[in-house]
Amino acid sequence: MLSKPFSVSFFLSIFVLPCVFGHVELGRKVNLSARETESEKNSETYVVIFDAGSSGTRVHLFRFDENIDLLQIDGQLEIYAKVSPGLSTYAENPQEAASSIVPLLEKAVNAIPENLRSQTPVKLGVRSLFSNSLLLYEKEWVLVLSGTQEGTYMWVAMNYLLGHLGEEYSQTVGIIDLGGASVQMAYAISAQAAENAPRTGEQYITEHHLKGTNYYLYVHSYLRGQDAARAEILKSTNDSVNYCILSGYNGTYIYNGAIYNTRSSSSGSNYKKCKTNVLKALNVNAKCEVKNCTFNGVWNGGGGAGQDKLYLASAFFYVASDDNIIDRNAQSGELTPAEFKRAAISACALSSLEEAHAKYPNAWSSNLPYLCMDLVYQAGIVTEKVSIKLNDTETYVIIFDGGSTGSRLHVFRFDDNIDLLQINGSLEVYDKITPGLSSYAENPDETANSLIPLLKEALDAVPENLQPVTPIKLGVRRLFSNSHYNTNSFLRHHINDRF
């Protein structure tokens, strides 16, 4: 039976947002937010921000006018550069940590007019370095941010850039920022929803007055960033083979000082089995003490208009651009939740690292073994954390009609209103083979084998990215009454990894 798919009333946008909040290992935050300092003699202000993430350190240089509106610098909205590894790598050698970001500091200083350098604030917790620089620096600017603060500031920054601050909460956008060690989600909810928020001892809701409007923000931070998630997913298989790893890879993964064995299955990666590992790592079955939980028993905020438009940042963008899911040269791109799933299925179907490199030439070689894992995890965040229903604007259905005179194949294509759509100019793909299945009463194996040519034709008719979600039906008018052979089971055996 064909059922109408759920509709989705929003879109996902993946983008690069100048991230003004950094973090080190396991979610500790460093305050990098800049108080805009106006020059007494100039109408422009520069701000230097260092984002000290778990995988690397980034510098962002911004330029504002007297109304704190962004101005371009050499045709761009920011000057940006990055060095690796992250500062946490130098935990035993603080001076080396400071030295590692000297090239970033020099790049920022050189882009600022000389007469404004002494008035330009710089933010990051490396006091001995910045106190000797040409930039304005005060030690009080070094603070530790909580995950809630980081998510809140990310929401404010995004809605500021989009021009939504001051509008009704329903006109704002939600944000999920996937870093290396942690992931934050934030979106605005109604005053009534805030009043009814669960009282569990954890502060889910914060109130803010911005540009004349009160906002109630749902914010939560999880210690499950992209790098941390890899470790958790590998841990879930207890050093055995992992179906999230591409075929042929056998190595180790190091995170936060721990070493994890990384071994692929002899059959390679598998989307369904990898998803099982991912959901286990996300702890989606954790006990929920309140109504509407995401994963790990955490309240999801209840949803609402403030979540209708959702922006995804950081690792979401980098993975999507490296894996050709969105335009690598664009600053943003739109995806549906279903497209996330299809991208994950496609990556998990790769048969080797060589094939992965050929298909994703922009991806770093060190990330290739984890393509399946990373995409399945990101799809899991979107669908499990936000409770988004997957939806496609088109649906294919394959039907096998096993009649007495022959077996027939029908492939239909529907839109989300269950109206028929054409396939290559026709309303269906149709074919027939003879004789009928009843002719094979004494040879059940031949029964199923006779349908294989039709099955192959069906595969050719359905787009590869939709095959895993396409239902297949076998209707048999006259099969062997004296046989216990299940032809449908045989078909499922042959198409297990594709349908």
Binding-site residues, in ranges, read 180-184
Burial class (CB in 10 A: 0-12, 13-18, 19+), 484: exposed
How many Cα atoms within 13 Å fall on the side-chain side of residue 206? 17
Closest CA to 431 of 412, 459, 454, 451: 454
Instruction: Confirm if 264 and 249 have CB atoms less than 8 A apart.
Output: yes
184 vs 226: CA distance, rounded Å: 12
Catalytic residue list: 150
158 vs 63: CA distance, rounded Å: 17
Closest CA to 439 of 476, 477, 480: 480
Burial class (CB in 10 A: 0-12, 13-18, 19+), 374: buried
Tokens of 170: 């329903």
Instruction: Confirm if 206 and 152 have CB atoms less than 8 A apart.
Output: yes
Q: How do strand 394-402 and strand 29-30 relate by DSSP bridges? A: unpaired
H runs (alpha helix) in 113-269: 127-130, 147-162, 191-195, 226-235
Sequence-distant (≥ 6) Cβ neighbours of residue 331 within 8 angstroms: 15, 16
What is the DSSP code string of 459-485?
A: HHHS-GGGGGG--EEEEESS--TT---
Tokens of 387: 């409770």
> Binding site membership for ATP: which residues?
180-184
Q: How far is CA 368 from the centre of its chain?
A: 16
Instruction: Confirm if 85 and 78 have CB atoms less than 8 A apart.
Output: no
310 vs 385: CA distance, rounded Å: 12
Q: Phi first, then psi: what are they for 176, rounded to 5°?
A: -125, 120
Q: How far is CA 362 from the centre of its chain?
A: 18
